[in-house]
């Protein structure tokens, strides 16, 4: 598994405002989308492309276009939905599938409550979006789901992660073709399974408490 922590002052600046508890939902949503676009640049570094020949007004030349089969972007509901627009802006030809997962706040175990994905993901390159990698349970379950359907390789893009959760994902998915791109690697998890310093509950801050 490869892990890449983005290191850019624009990302750190936007993350600082995102973390701030006084940042209201509309700004939080806008910043999540902007951060996603910046992280997508790194997260799509290995996107498959195929050669194409074009003519400029001056000469014929070689370029590339996004390859086939189309990449599949999978936001993890709810909070991952806040990252979708930022991703498809950079990868407009991608298809989008959905996984709904909720973490039990007592046991911290994830349950899958919704799924809308192609049955066969053979040879598909998948990009999973979830802002928070805390214990790692949700991300591990999501990635295993995609591999069980035949996905070829999976890149997960998360805004924040805890070291404990990252280690758990690495252990669970050892030997798999997985890349994880992070906006920041935080200090730790607290006793409630929240990332510290983190940003609180990403889903609630994006969409309100349910
Ligand atoms: C959050 C977050 C991740 C998960 C991370 O979702 O978006 O999916 O928790 O925690 P883990 O690494 O310990 O599994 P949550 O379950 O709160 O659902 P929501 O997006 O609907 O708020
Ligand atoms: N889910 C969140 O939204 N935030 C955390 O800190 C941990 C899990």
pLDDT at 209: 85
Mode of pairing for the β-strands spanning 98-103 and 110-116: antiparallel
Residue 114 CA to ligand 2 center (angstroms) comes to 19
Q: In angstroms, what is the span from residue 57 Cα to ligand 2's centroid?
A: 51
The reported pLDDT for the residue numbered 59 is 98
Which band of pLDDT confidence, cut at 50, 70 and 90, is reported for residue 124?
A: very high
- 74 touches 146 (CB < 8 A): yes
> Is the distance from CB of 143 to CB of 99 less than 8 angstroms?
no
Helix (H, G, I), strand (E, B) or coil at 46: coil
Tell how strand 95-96 and strand 60-66 pair up. unpaired
Q: How far is the CA of 61 from the centre of ligand 1 (A)?
A: 46
Phi-psi region of 128 (alpha: psi -120 to 50; beta: other; left: phi over 0): beta
Residue 17's CB: how many other CB atoms inside 10 A?
Answer: 14
Ligand 2, atom 7, lies closest to the CA of: 194
Question: Is the confidence at residue 152, as pLDDT, over 90?
Answer: no
Residues with CB under 6 Å of ligand 2 are: 79, 132, 134, 194-195, 198, 201-203
What is this model's ipTM? 0.98
Among 120-124, 167-171, 181-185, the least confident range: 120-124
pLDDT, mean of residues 67-83: 96
Residue 185 β-bridge partners: 161
| Chain centroid offset of residue 50 CA | 24
- Does position 200 have pLDDT exceeding 90, yes or no? yes
pTM confidence score: 0.96
How far apart (Å, rounded) are the C-alpha atoms in residues 78 and 56?
Answer: 44
> Which of 3.30.160.270, 1.10.3720.10, 3.30.420.40, 3.40.50.2020 would CATH assign to domain 2-207?
3.40.50.2020
The answer to whether residues 76 and 138 touch, using CB atoms and an 8 Å cutoff, is yes
């Amino acid at each position: 598994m490869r892990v890449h922590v983005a290191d850019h002052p624009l990302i750190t600046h936007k993350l600082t405002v995102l973390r701030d508890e006084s940042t209201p939902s509309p700004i939080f949503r806008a910043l999540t989308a902007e951060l996603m676009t910046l992280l997508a640049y790194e997260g799509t570094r290995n996107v498959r492309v195929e050669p194409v020949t074009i003519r400029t007004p001056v000469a014929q030349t070689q370029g590339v276009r996004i390859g086939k089969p189309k990449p599949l972007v999978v936001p993890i509901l709810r909070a991952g939905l806040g990252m979708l627009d930022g991703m498809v802006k950079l990868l407009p030809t991608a298809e989008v599938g959905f996984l709904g997962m909720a973490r039990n706040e007592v046991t911290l175990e994830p349950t899958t409550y919704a799924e809308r994905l192609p049955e066969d993901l053979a040879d598909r390159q998948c990009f999973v979006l979830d802002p928070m990698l805390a214990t790692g349970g949700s991300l591990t379950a999501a990635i295993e789901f995609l591999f069980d359907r035949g996905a070829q390789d999976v890149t997960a893009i998360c805004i924040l992660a805890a070291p404990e959760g990252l280690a758990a994902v690495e252990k669970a998915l050892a030997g798999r073709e997985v890349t994880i791109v992070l906006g920041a690697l935080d200090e730790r998890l607290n006793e409630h399974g929240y990332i510290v310093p983190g940003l609180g509950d990403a889903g609630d801050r994006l969409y309100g408490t349910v």
